[in-house]
Chains A and B, each alone.
Chain A
Amino acid sequence: MSAPQLLEVIDLSVAIGATRIIKNISLEVRAGEILGLVGASGSGKSMTALGIMRLLPSTASSTGITRLNGEILSSIPESRMRAIRGRDIGMVFQEPTSALNPLMRIGDQVEETVRSHRQASVAEVQSLAREALDLVGLQGEQGALDRLPYELSGGQRQRVAIAMAMVLSPQFLIADEPTTALDVITQAQVLLLLQGLVRRRNMGMILVTHDLAVIAQLADRVAVMHQGEIVEQASTAEILRRPRNAYSAALLAASELAPKRAETGQISTPAILQVQGIVREYPRKRTSLWRAAKPFRALDGVSLTVHAGETVGLVGESGSGKSSLLRVILALERAQAGEVSLLGETFSSATGATLSRLRRSIQVVFQDPYGSFDPRWTVEQLIGEPFFLSGSPPSNVERRRKVTMVLEQVGLSATDAQRLPREFSGGERQRIAIARALITEPAVIAFDEAVSALDVLIRAQVLALLADLAERLKVAYLFVSHDLHVIRAIADRVYVMQQGRIVEEGPAAAVFNSPRHAYTQALVAASPKLPVLN
């Protein structure tokens, strides 16, 4: 228990102009320990990490003391700090794609870190780089050093970034959302890798994340940040069992999305959306002058059904074809084979008035709360846009009345109608998007990763709103997400998608508790969970 303090942060404050974004925070990390730094976006997590590394933007000013192994980092000259970065403290960022230079071989990139810190022979540098890449599990491939970033998958790139951070065997590692951009299975592998490195080498690590489940799996201690302050700091087990601070309690409660109560019995309502044998192919770039390239098959005979009033989840990793399927279902793209029918009528090949009439029965909410709205339109104009579908647009009074009604249904007020989208937060914007979907009184609403961009607390609120609306309006949902927790919390029935095919379907509880297909099993096993505590 008496391991020495490796990193100490005392009274760190960061201000940009007159705004204090980090207020007097203090942290300690021992050797061999992982400290989880958790909080909503904008709470100052990343700024803390950058503050320790003295990599803050030039407009920011900071005060406080940072000590690594007794050496005060906060007051040494920049040249000395440069030597410490990379050699004594390694850093891994969220986005592996932008952290690597796309034109440099990965071997050179890892070697560069060595060369900027150490005079060493070419052979020595190369062997260090090779060792580092071995360490992160990129060995085996002959010539791994010679590959370029675009030849690697997202997970492999993040491994390269970790190798760059680890090549000089630093005593300390700061990982800022290292797995947020990765899919579930890769995330599990990278987390395991980081944990193993810290334990074996007796390093210290700060893991910055918004995901309490990741913290629960990895961290020994947790610091909860809220509006630039650390509101609670305790061991992981303690925070998960008995959070003392109200904010950490709320964060924990929001992260523990309770599985939806299993619906009993068979669904007796009629099927309103039927998708049958959809095949969608995209042309690939020609590689030969003589024959066309074999097209890429994004959807390979996909069938699914949504019954009235039911919430159906569609799970799959990025690239599994979820978004393509959604576009086909919404009749935004035409499939090469198969049919979508809505309320018993063919939707996928409908045209003209029939298409407009059917479109009213299916609406959609997109992922990005910032890109989903024309920035120049008022909320009333945006929400009223689907009125275009009705042959005779309603009068202004009628229109205003309906917009007010849906705004109130999603928990906003009538006065919001004249405001512009940029005046709203991300969560409020998703509410506006939901209001826009409700205005035509559709039978089914599709959600494309609709809560993925939201913070944990907001996400829980939006999910509660959706559950409430489903109950009151008897509207069916087709909920597409890569996040098993979310699907589990909202869906009655689940489809699991892999490489353009549905590999498993069934009631949510059954699929997640006893998955049958190997891929579903891997997904369930890899997705980080909060331990069930009593």
Chain B
Amino acid sequence: MISAARNPSLGAGALITGLFIAVAALAQVWTPYDPRILSIADKLRPPSAQHWFGTDQLGRDVLSMIMVGAQTSVGVALLSVLIGVCVGVPLGLLGAARRGATDEIVMRGNDLIFAFPALLLAILITAVFGPGAINAIIAIGIFNIPVFARVTRAGALQQWTKDYTLAARVSGKDPLRISWEHILPNLLGLLLVQGTIQFSLGVIAEAGLSYVGLSAQPPTPSWGRMLNEAQTLTALAPYLALFPGFAVLLFVLGLNLLGEGLRRRAGPPA
């Protein structure tokens, strides 16, 4: 067991990530103000005791908006990682288990997705389904698929070189069953680390998509759109851009630290 002192990134990462997830959960039941209610009289108040993070140009409480925005951010990133895991991991296992033509088709398909601009896909989905958080989840999720497929395949190929896979085949098990029973459990550490990294990339991607208006639509607040709206007011109320900006930064930093901490704990000492 590695103590927290020898693996500080794990502790710090878990703390920050936990904080954001707790805030997102809290926003479900309580926020200081309702971020959907406009109050033009209170517009552009700087941070104060009543409004810790101030109010925006429509008089909405920035802290409340950030709390609800955390919900959007966590939800989109988490679901898109799930899409990536649920599709990518089986594909990676399949490629490693079957090799040959199957492997080739799976991996070249992945290359194709990798080569596709994410923004273009998001716009295409918007054209079909209309804008919304679901749109962002699908777009980011699709780009998680090849990442998980590649990581899984690489890890699985390494496991396949071990003699225990041969022993399992001598026991009459076919490669897909061995992948499920032996290989996947031995890749969980690897996937947990990759999942954390993709989570943080998902947070950034969601902020990016909502900045250009392709994610959650008003009145649901999102960090990216808050940044977009703050852009025209930077001279007047710089805190409007600072708070959501810092929220993205801190959350991503926390997730990266968590990923690094998990990697250090799972893998050989680096």
Contacts and interface: CB of A to CB of B under 8 A. Distances in A.
Nearest to A369: B163
A422 to B, nearest CB: 13
A73 B5 CA distance: 38
A389 interface: yes
Given A374-B182, A374-B186, A376-B186, A389 B172 contact: yes
Contact of B166 (A359, A366, A376, A389): A366
A330 B186 contact: no
Interface string A373-395: 11111000000011011000000
B169 A332 contact: yes
B173 to A, nearest CB: 6
Contacts of B236: none
A404 interface: no
A367 interface: yes
A371 B160 CA distance: 10
B186 A364 contact: no
Interface string B78-115: 00000000000000000000000000000000000000
Q: Is the interface of B mostly helix, strand, loop or mixed?
A: helix
Contacts of B164: 371-374
B186 to A, nearest CB: 6
Interface residues of B, number: 14
Contacts, number: 51
B16 to A, nearest CB: 30
A436 B170 CA distance: 11
A13 interface: no
Interface string B173-214: 100000000100110000000000000000000000000000
B6 interface: no
B100 to A, nearest CB: 11
A305 interface: no
A385 B163 contact: no
Contacts of B172: 355-356, 359, 386, 388-389
Given A373-B164, A373-B167, A386-B171, 10 more contacts: A332-B169, A332-B170, A364-B167, A368-B163, A371-B163, A372-B167, A374-B182, A374-B186, A385-B167, A388-B173
B26 to A, nearest CB: 37
B168 interface: yes
Interface residues of A, number: 24
A236 interface: no
21 contacts: A330-B170, A359-B172, A363-B170, A364-B166, A366-B163, A371-B162, A371-B164, A372-B167, A373-B164, A373-B167, A374-B182, A374-B185, A375-B186, A377-B182, A385-B167, A385-B173, A386-B171, A388-B171, A389-B171, A389-B172, A433-B167
Contacts of A356: 172
Contacts of B166: 332, 364, 366
Contact of B167 (A362, A366, A375): A366
A8 B84 CA distance: 63
Contacts of B171: 359, 385-386, 388-389
Nearest to A359: B172
Interface in A295-348: 330, 332
Contacts of A385: 167-168, 171, 173
Contacts of B168: 374, 385
Interface of A: 330, 332, 355-356, 359, 362-364, 366-368, 371-377, 385-386, 388-389, 433, 436
A386 B163 contact: no
Nearest to B169: A332
A371 B162 CA distance: 5
Nearest to B161: A371
A367 B163 contact: yes
Contacts of B173: 385, 388
A69 B129 CA distance: 85
Contacts of A371: 162-164
A476 to B, nearest CB: 16
A332 B166 CA distance: 8
Contacts of A375: 186
A153 to B, nearest CB: 23
A375 B187 CA distance: 12
A202 B88 CA distance: 65
Q: 8 smallest A-B Cβ distances: which pairs?
A: A366-B163, A386-B171, A371-B162, A389-B172, A372-B163, A371-B163, A385-B171, A356-B172
B197 to A, nearest CB: 23
A389 B172 CA distance: 6
A371 B171 CA distance: 16
A368 B185 CA distance: 21
Contact of A359 (B163, B170, B185): B170
A324 B249 CA distance: 55
A376 B168 CA distance: 14
Contacts of B170: 330, 332, 359, 362-364, 386
Nearest to A358: B172
A78 B22 CA distance: 55
B180 to A, nearest CB: 12
A386 B162 CA distance: 17
B167 A376 contact: no
Contacts of B182: 374, 377
Nearest to A368: B163
A220 B186 CA distance: 49
Contacts of B162: 371-372
Nearest to A362: B170
Contacts of B167: 364, 366, 372-373, 385, 433, 436
Contacts of A373: 164, 167
A391 to B, nearest CB: 10
A458 to B, nearest CB: 18
Nearest to B173: A388
A377 B171 CA distance: 15
A372 B167 CA distance: 7
B103 to A, nearest CB: 16
Contacts of B163: 366-368, 371-372
Contacts of A362: 170
Contacts of A372: 162-164, 167
Nearest to A365: B167
A284 B110 CA distance: 27
A475 to B, nearest CB: 15
Contacts of A359: 170-172
Contacts of B169: 332
